[in-house]
Amino acid sequence: MIHFRRIGHRLLASVGGIVILGIVAITLTYAIRQEASSLQQAENALGKVTDSVAEGLAAIMLGGHAKAAPDFASRLKNVPNVIDYRIIRIDGTQAFVDNATVERVNTRLGEFEFTGRKGEPAPVRAVSSIDPALERMRQTGERVFSYHTQPGGERLVTVFSPIHAGLSCKKCHGAEDVLRGAITLTVSMKDIDDDVEHTWRLSILVIIGALAGIIALIYWFAHRTVVSQIAEFLKAMETAAVGDNSVRLKATSRDEIGRMAHSFNHMNEELLQIYGNLKEERTKLNTVIHGASSGIVVTDAKQQVVLVNRAAENIIGRSEQAIIERGFLHLFDDSAWMEARIQDEGGEASSPLLEWNGKILSVQASTIRHEDGTIIGSAALIRDITEEKRLEARLKEQSITDALTGLHNRRHFDEVLVTEFKRWKRYAQPLSVMMIDVDHFKKFNDTHGHDCGDRVLGAIGAVLKALAAPSLIPCRYGGEEMLIVMPGVVEERGVQLAETVRQRIAELVIDGLKVTVSIGVAGLPGHEVENGDALVKLADDALYDAKEGGRNQVRRAGPRSAGYLGADTQ
């Protein structure tokens, strides 16, 4: 069975088709020319016959033997293949069968020169006066052939050969008539058609024979020189396509096929070397990817997951098969979230944090594009930063916390004070500060040792942390001094809170010793200050007033006569 997918059959069909067209064209041209030549020879033969008849007829007429003309003409009917023969006038009526011409000639001569036929024979219409062939002969004065087919299929040809009026005819017929009539001869074309048919049959046989031989030759030559080598080349390429680059072709010839074989062998050698290098690099890459602590998930252009490393399985908590089945956008059960990560293309959301199954993950997702902008896949780099965030939070807490008291340190206090004072300036939100100092702290250190002093400070820190609310920010200001920033608290309320602090600390007993503190409070509104430090200075002045007033008491900022709260006033 012929499959035109094969190059050999297409080559055979194309070359054979071209050859077939050429042979058919040549043969048809030959047959058509032979047919035309046969017709031309037949027409020439008919012309010669009618010319001979015309010459004989002229001799009879000039000799004055017009009555013998019909007998002369009738002899042609005995010639083989002659169907009909007549001598007609220009109007298509048959000559020499009536007295029309004799009467016209006698009238012209003015005497009874010629004797007509007995009786009054009627004119015989041999050809229609409007016959196309007759009309063409009258117009051109040339011989005309008319072909027609009988009901049985036999072809006939009728020649209209003109009889021209010569000088000798003018005496009887006058000079005004150029054509006197015509000789019509109808013959059968059977012999000629048989010859033409024979020519066509022979031509067809020649075509068939030539085609069979040429196609066989083309097929043999093409298969031997091209197709078999191409088939071998194709087989080698199919072998190489499945990864076997060890196949080699015979490159013995110097033609295009031989050069192709040489190039193929060289290509296979290069591919074998490249494949070896790629395999080695792939092994290294797989080692890196699967040994990485960060999770890696990669897709192709159709968003089908094609790579999942072990770290991704451990971090996400699903197997590689489950991740592949769920798809890239459903790594964390929120396709919209992942879609936003991909579309962000390196923006702020390209590496956000995500809380997942008790872990804090850093997910960096992006779309991978070719140089021309075509999407070739997506990738996600997933890191478990839970411990990092915990350590970061711990370090941050340590950076703003005093180790001894557990309160915020001085640096954090300065930052908070600046922020809250700006809020007061912009929104007029109340702000108060509470300055605390341990009474007779030097006695604790000098008499009972620094360890005792540290325990006192630690216990006070614990009290302040226990009393602290979201609106109270306790800090160690330095040495035995402590500060509480109170956003949203007016000075009067701050004084009340300070009294609560004083009382709680007064309940402490450290190493058998009673602990008391003095507290100063300053708040906004109520004072004209330029910054937070000025507000702290007012609280410090109030603290000094408490110390001067006997310690273990609370004083608010302002003149000393503004009043105070404390144990000494009760």
Phi, psi of 365 (to 5 degrees): -120, 145
Strand locations in 215-358 (E):
295-299, 305-308, 353-356
> Pairing between strand 553-556 and 517-524?
parallel
172 Cβ contact list (under 8 Å, min separation 6): 105, 108, 109, 113
Amino acid 486 reads M
Amino acid 181 reads G
Distance CA(384)–CA(28), nearest Å, equals 87
Amino acid 166 reads G
Cβ proximity of 467 and 504 under 8 Å:
yes
Amino acid 196 reads V
Which ranges in 223-333 belong to alpha helices (H)? Answer: 228-241, 256-291, 310-316, 320-326
Burial class (CB in 10 A: 0-12, 13-18, 19+), 289: middle
Distance CA(92)–CA(473), nearest Å, equals 140
Q: Annotated catalytic, 481?
A: no
Distance CA(265)–CA(319), nearest Å, equals 44
Cβ proximity of 413 and 485 under 8 Å:
yes
Of 43, 313, 388, 480, which is the active-site residue? Answer: 480
Residue among 500, 421, 416, 428 at smallest CA distance from 466:
500
Catalytically active residues, by annotation? 480
